[in-house]
Each structure stands twice: as C-alpha cells, then as structure tokens.
Amino acid sequence: MALAIVFTYLLTSPFYIFQSGYPQPADFILVLGIMGSVFYALIQFQAKIDKAYILGITFAAYAFLINIIHYFHYDDIRLLLTSLIYSYNVAAFIFISFLLHKYPHAAFKILFWGAALSIIGQFIQVQFFPSSHPFRATGTFNNPNQLAYWALLVSALLLVIKYRTKLNIFDYGLLSLAFYIQMLSLSKAGIITSLLLIVACLFSKVIKGQHKIIVLISVTILSIFLITQAPSLLPQLVENDTIKTTTMRILNIGTEADDSLEGRGYHRLLENPTFLILGAGEGAFWRYDQEGYNQELHSGVATLLFAYGPFGTLIFCAFIFYILKQRPLFFTILFILIMLFGATHQNLRFSMFWVFLASINGLPRIVQTYSPKQNAETFPEEKI
C-alpha cells in the first residue's frame, strides 16, 4: 500500500492545480502514506534511529520556531505555511527513506517506474498540448522554471537509482526526453545545470565503459560531420525553433534584469544584516523593501542563510553532509548541480528535492544486501 502511494505521488507530482507555494494533489496523496508510516513506526519502535532523520527533524523544528516567532509579530500566513511545508518535506524524506530501507528492491523499482512514466507523460504534455506561457513550455506546472527544476530533479533521481546497474538504452531515452523538456522550458539555470550533468555522467561510473567509447566516437563523428557540412546545415539549424530559442536564451544570460544578484534578491542579505543572526523566516517580505516589493528571495541558497541564519544553515548542511557521507562522489556532484540551480531559484521547498535526498539516503541499505564483492563494485574507492 505504501509503495503504491509513492508510485501515485510520482505520477501526479508534476500536476499543479493550485497556486504555486501551496500543497498540490500529489502532496495530499503522500500525506496518506506518511500518516500510515507514523502509525507503523509507533508500533515497531526501535531504539536506533537514522541520524539523518534526527537532523532533518531538527532543521524542520528550527524553521518552524523561527517562522512562528515572526508570525506572531507580523501576522503573515505565509510564515505558517512555510513551516508546514518543511515539516511535510522532512516527513516525506523519512517516509521514503524508511521504505527504501525496508523494501529496497521493490521501492527502487517503484521510484524508477514512477519517474520514467512521469517523464513520458510530461513529454507528451509539452509536445502536443499548448503552454500557458507565450514561448516557454510549462507542462503541467504553473511556470517554466518549475518544469525545468522538476526535469533536473527527476534526471538526478534516475541516475541515483541506476548507479549500481548502470544506464541502458531505455534510460538514455528517458534522460534525453528530460533534457528535451529542459530545452523547451528555456530555463537558463536548468539548461546549464543539465549540460553539466551530462558532462558529469560521462566521467562517472553510471555509464558503462563501452558506452562511453560509443558516445565519444559518436560525438567525434558528429563534430566532423557538422564542421564539414556547416555551410549547408547552419541555416537549417538556425531556423529550428527549439534550437534557435534555446541558443538565444543562453546568449542572453547577463542581459536581463533577473540575471543580477539584486534581481534575485541577494541585496537583502547586505541591507538587512540583523536578520542574519537568527533568521528572518519566510514571509512578510514587505519588511525588506521600502518600495513595498512583496516578493520572496529568488534563491534557495540565499533564502536558507537569510531566513534561518547561520544556525539553521549549519543544521541543514549537517543533514546533507550525513546523507552524502561515504556515498559516491557522483551523488555529491548531483547535489551541487541541484543547489547551483537553487542559486537563482527557490528550490528547497520542492518535495521532489527531498525525494531525491531520500533515494541517496536509502541506497546504502540496498548495497548491504549484496556480497562484499558486489559492494566493492558498487562503491569503489574511486567514487565517481
């Protein structure tokens, strides 16, 4: 039942029905599983608790404390809502980690097929149905950046799942569809981080050795072909809508208002240093701008420091450090790329981010079910 709930969540997670920042239908589905797991945990209580759970709960509790203090002073409902979101996300992390520890093979299979089918469904949506945005694909999300972040996260999730068994042809197809969706979203941060993800894959063990050779040979042949046929191919490539808009989007980096640190709200950290002591919470944004610009920071990284201060940031970093500790370096690179996206977008409240973290946290238990020789092959000393 719990695995079916996770599968349903993955299928429905891209569907945004309500306003951004509010719970979506998939979240209510996952809550059912969380409630069931809490009841099961109370019955099957064990003295030994995963340290990641403790650190995650500590971060959510600190975020709740900071937000509730500011709520009593500023009376902005968004402060309460944010507290609930972090509590829900940490609960989702624990719930999925628990399933991966208890039912490793079945749970990873559910994660894979849930992610795979959601990618195929989103491809159909962006390819055959009109977007709510004039020239950027939104899929079933409320805006293009949400689509881009989801495409990055689901790609990273697939790479974690397939790290042990390596990628096959079907996996390459799924990742190609996710990258195509990324291109249609025209998110500058999404395209750049996805390209870096491809480069990281080429130097990691998630791709089989013979596949790397095939990729390098294919790239070499393609490069030679493009160079020799450039005069005749260039006009056709320029006229291709997807390639043209993607290229123009990348070339325009630095020329738009939101490309600056101020455009993303980083100036608040310098102009309101007192909030950096304990944290300003997430809400009542009118406090920072004299012009009444009632908007949140467009950066998950800056929000973490500004909203929860050094102490909250330290708790979150300890949580992440414990999850990534003694895992392949490739997983750390995936996390860095996701946080690189978060340097210019809100990314910490996205529930799929916490599912990605849970997939890493649950992996060591599945490795322990294999022989020492298989463990050595799965986590060699060269961890990328």
CB 205 within 8 A of CB 333: no
Residue 242 lies in a domain: no
Helices 104-128 & 77-102 angle (0-180, nearest 10)? 130
Residue 236 lies in a domain: no
User: What's the mean pLDDT when you consider all of the chain?
Assistant: 81
Residue 201 lies in a domain: yes
Residue 105's domain spans which residues? 2-205+252-378
Residue 244 lies in a domain: no
Residue 384 lies in a domain: no
The whole-angstrom separation of Cα 354 and Cα 326 is: 19
> Closest by alpha carbon to 287, among 305, 304, 274?
274
Write the CA distances from 188 to 247, 253, 344, integer angstroms: 10, 7, 10
Residue 240 lies in a domain: no
Residue 314: per-residue pLDDT: 96
The phi-psi region of residue 128 (left if phi > 0; otherwise alpha if psi is between -120 and 50; otherwise beta) is: alpha
Residue 304: per-residue pLDDT: 92
Residue 384 pLDDT grade (very low, low, confident, very high; cuts 50, 70, 90): very low
Tell me the mean pLDDT in the region 170-185.
92
Count the helix, strand and coil residues of the chain and give each as a percent rounded to the nearest 5. 70, 0, 30
The whole-angstrom separation of Cα 167 and Cα 163 is: 8
Residue 136: per-residue pLDDT: 83
The phi-psi region of residue 16 (left if phi > 0; otherwise alpha if psi is between -120 and 50; otherwise beta) is: beta
Residue 66 lies in a domain: yes
Positive or negative, the Cα torsion across 222, 227, 230, 231?
A: negative
The structural domain count of the chain equals 1
Cβ neighbours of 105 (radius 10 Å): 10
Residue 80 lies in a domain: yes
Residue 130: per-residue pLDDT: 77
Tell me the mean pLDDT in the region 230-248.
52
The whole-angstrom separation of Cα 80 and Cα 21 is: 12
pLDDT in tens, 254-304: 555 455 556 556 777 777 787 778 888 898 887 776 554 557 777 888 889
Residue 380: per-residue pLDDT: 42
Higher pLDDT, 259 or 213: 213
CA 62 centroid distance within chain? 22
pLDDT in tens, 98-142: 899 888 899 999 999 999 999 999 999 998 887 777 778 888 998
Task: Let me know how long the chain is.
Answer: 384
